[in-house]
């Protein structure tokens, strides 16, 4: 028997516009992602099996439908196959995630993003052929570990041994034009931008002279940016 036997709102109009995205599963991750897409002007079709969740998002997304995404006829009725981009944001219910993933591939959605809650889950999604797999809990855990360990205020690993970090500059480079600080040669990092209270963020140039109270955005290998952040 279907867990979500009926749709609360039958699909009568064409939902998929050129730039729109369908988000399946409006838990914390799916909801936050859908709302951020809406904030940036993207039309979003939200699908969730939980009536309460659907009600909560009713006025927040372009369309919200209560439906079971593991049913092919339901996805077709919602014209999910007309979307170029679909985000599968079901994590905890592995069976629902895998069944929905295989249906989305069957519907030949050009770009599918899926959330994985473990390495094994991600591996299964990858073997199925899902195009982009994200690990929100794992990624955030790793990111926070870097913040907890070092003096970094923000940490973003770009991949392939490269990270962007927000931190405070060490005293040794304050009052010195960037061209003379030797940060790249001495520390193996690049100071890409700086923030000055009242002035906001600006790109650094060779003439930039950092002052006390400034923050910097540095780029480089994770061990190098971390070591640079520890300097006082
Ligand atoms: P989060 O961490 O993002 O809150 P989660 O991984 O803890 O999510 P899940 O169990 O993955 O929680 O559920 C995310 C959402 O997906 C829930 O709101 C749930 O109602 C919805 N959902 C689960 N299975 C289905 C399904 N088969 N069809 C539609 N929606 C579903």
Report the alpha-carbon distance of residue 104 to residue 214 in Å, rounded.
48
**Residue 5 pLDDT > 70, yes or no?**
no
Of all atoms in ligand 1, which is nearest to the CA of residue 93? 10
Mean pLDDT of the chain: 91
Question: What is the distance in A from the centroid of ligand 1 to the CA of 101?
Answer: 13
Return the pLDDT at 17: 62
pLDDT digit string (tens) for 57-78?
999 999 999 999 999 999 999 9
Query: Per mean pLDDT, which range of 11-25, 95-109, 148-162, 208-222 is the poorest?
Result: 11-25
Return the pLDDT at 142: 85
pLDDT digit string (tens) for 91-110?
999 999 999 999 999 999 99
- 35 close to 87: Cβ distance less than 8 angstroms: no
Residue percentage of the chain with pLDDT more than 90: 82
Return the pLDDT at 232: 84
Return the pLDDT at 150: 74
Question: What is the distance in A from the centroid of ligand 1 to the CA of 213?
Answer: 44
Question: What is the distance in A from the centroid of ligand 1 to the CA of 93?
Answer: 7
> Higher model confidence: residue 4 or residue 195?
195
Return the pLDDT at 12: 37
Query: Per mean pLDDT, which range of 5-9, 147-151, 180-184 is the poorest?
Result: 5-9
Q: Whose CA is closest to atom 25 on ligand 1?
A: 49
Is 196 close to ligand 1, i.e. is its CB under 6 Å away?
no
Average pLDDT over residues 135-157: 87
Q: For residue 134, give the DSSP letter.
A: E
Tokens of 163: 């990270």
Report the alpha-carbon distance of residue 97 to residue 99 in Å, rounded.
6
Average pLDDT over residues 7-23: 62
**Residue 4 pLDDT > 50, yes or no?**
no
Average pLDDT over residues 133-148: 90
Return the pLDDT at 1: 31
Is 27 close to ligand 1, i.e. is its CB under 6 Å away?
yes
Is 181 close to ligand 1, i.e. is its CB under 6 Å away?
no
Alpha helices in 129-221 (DSSP H): 136-149, 178-181, 183-187
Return the pLDDT at 16: 60
Average pLDDT over residues 146-161: 85
Return the pLDDT at 216: 97
Question: What is the distance in A from the centroid of ligand 1 to the CA of 95?
Answer: 11
């Amino acid at each position: 028997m279907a867990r979500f036997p009926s749709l609360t709102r039958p699909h009568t109009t064409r939902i998929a516009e050129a730039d729109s995205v369908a988000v399946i599963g409006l838990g914390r991750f799916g909801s936050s992602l859908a709302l951020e897409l809406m904030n940036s002007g993207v039309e979003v079709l939200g699908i969730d099996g939980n009536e309460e969740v659907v009600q909560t998002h009713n006025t927040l997304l372009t369309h919200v439908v209560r439906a079971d995404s593991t049913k092919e006829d339901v996805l077709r009725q919602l014209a999910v196959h007309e979307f170029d981009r679909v985000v599968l944001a079901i994590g905890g219910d592995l069976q629902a995630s895998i069944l929905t993933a295989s249906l989305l591939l069957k519907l030949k959605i050009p770009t599918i993003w899926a959330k994985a809650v473990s390495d094994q889950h991600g591996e299964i999604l990858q073997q199925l052929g899902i195009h982009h797999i994200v690990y929100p809990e794992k990624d955030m855990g790793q990111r926070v570990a870097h913040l907890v360990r070092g003096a970094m205020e923000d940490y973003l690993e770009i991949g392939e041994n490269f990270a962007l970090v927000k931190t405070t500059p060490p005293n040794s480079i304050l009052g010195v034009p960037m061209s003379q600080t030797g940060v790249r040669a001495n520390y193996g990092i690049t100071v890409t931008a700086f923030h000055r209270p009242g002035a906001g963020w600006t790109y650094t140039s060779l003439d930039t002279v950092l002052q006390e109270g400034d923050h910097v955005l540095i780029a480089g290998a994770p061990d190098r940016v971390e070591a640079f952040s520890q300097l006082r």
